Structure 1
Amino acid sequence: MINERETVLAANDAFYRAFEKKNLEAMEAVWSQGIGSLCIHPGRDALKGWTSIRDTWEQIFKHTHYIEVDIDIISVEVSGDLAYVVLIENILQISSGRRIEAQSMATNVFERMADRWYMVHHHGSPLVK
């Protein structure tokens, strides 16, 4: 039997690999193309639908010279065709010659469609120390 938890974690890892590599095609492969997809970047408004979400990733990738994201998984839950991963994102970003280190608490929600897990929601909130 397939371990669904591990399959969800693989989809989650694919999201962060696409993020780090600033690979829009890989990001597109991870996300559901549906109009109900939601993305909330830290400190930003909610974006609904893949077109709006894609545009923000394109801008982030365009204006970021380098990015590393190390994650600390807090919880993984799978229930039927929905799953979520709660984690801390440890981010190192170089943008416009500035080095930025930050932490975000994030929730990634996945939906299983045609035997594959797709991201349908990403919400990152900054952690202030």
Structure 2
Amino acid sequence: MAGDHDSVLQANTAFYRAFEKKDLEAMATIWSQGIGSLCVHPGRTALQGWEAIRQSWQQIFKNTRYLEIDIDVISVEVSGDLAYVVLVEKVLQIGQDRLEAKSMATNIFERMAGRWYLVHHHGSPVVR
């Protein structure tokens, strides 16, 4: 359905907006608070459950003065109450150093109570 497709893309955009603005409160409204949520930052091990995921974002935001993120969506698929977005992330991160990274990412959303929540984010570095 076109409506579901658009709603998933809006949820995906909200995730990257919260990421770029380093807004932990907004992240908390986007992510499922369940213990089954998973996050794999590029080059890192899997984090399971919202508390571990929240702590990872908090640490990233704490050590980052500036973030700029561009995304290039490759695919959006919706099947019932599950959806995924496959995309390329281009991240400029300035903390102590300047880091430019490109990752392939998959974001999986689950519709709960009529709203799409992020339940899985996996980023893999693209080797130049």
TM-score (norm 2): 0.98
1:102 matched residue in structure 2: 101
1:42 matched residue in structure 2: 42
Q: How many angstroms does 1:2 deviate by?
A: 6.6
Letter in 1 for 2:87: L
Letter in 2 for 1:30: I
1:60 matched residue in structure 2: 60
2:4 matched residue in structure 1: 4
The 1-side partners of 2:48 and 2:88 are apart by: 23
* 1:35-92, Cα deviation, whole Å (9 max, x unpaired): 0000000000000000000000000000001001100000000000000000000111
| Moved segments of 4+, more than 3 Å | none
Gaps of 5+ in 2: none
Letter in 2 for 1:8: V
Alignment partner of 2:26: what SS? Answer: helix
Gaps of 5+ in 1: none
2:119 matched residue in structure 1: 120
The 1-side partners of 2:121 and 2:2 are apart by: 25
TM-score (norm 1): 0.97
Q: How many angstroms does 1:17 deviate by?
A: 0.4
CA RMSD in angstroms, aligned pairs only: 1.0
**Fraction of identical pairs, as percent:** 70
Q: Does 1:13 align with 2:13?
A: yes
- Paired residues in the alignment total 128
The 2-side partners of 1:77 and 1:93 are apart by: 29
